[in-house]
């Protein structure tokens, strides 16, 4: 009985690790797409209006950082599942 409980415990730990890794990976997909869109559109804007490059790059940098926050939330979930 004790052996069975120990095995179940190990299985739960394993599933936790798999879930954490999977969640982190899935959470990084959306921001990846988002950053691609932000930078792609910023480059288009800079090509059309080079004199507004500073403004575009400011907005782009903040956009990237905001989008990255989503991945960081996934990262924090990964930390909590693995180490808490």
Rounded to the nearest 10°, the torsion over CA 7, 15, 73, 59 is: 150
Q: Which CA distances in Å does 3 have to 9, 14, 16, 40? A: 10, 16, 20, 56
Pick 5 or 48: Cβ nearer another protein: 48
**Least CB distance from residue 54 to another protein, whole Å?**
4
For another protein, the binding residues in 23-82 under the rule CB under 8 A are: 24, 28, 31-32, 35-36, 38-40, 43, 46-47, 50-55, 57-59, 61-62, 64-66, 68-69, 71-73, 75-76, 78-80, 82
């Amino acid at each position: 009985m004790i052996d069975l409980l120990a095995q179940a415990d190990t299985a739960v730990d394993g599933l936790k690790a798999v879930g954490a890794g999977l969640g982190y990976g899935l959470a990084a997909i959306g921001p990846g797409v988002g950053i691609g869109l932000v930078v792609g559109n910023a480059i288009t804007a800079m090509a059309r209006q080079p004199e507004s490059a500073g403004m575009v790059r400011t907005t782009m940098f903040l956009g990237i950082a905001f989008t990255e926050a989503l991945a960081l939330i996934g990262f924090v979930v990964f930390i909590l599942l693995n180490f808490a």
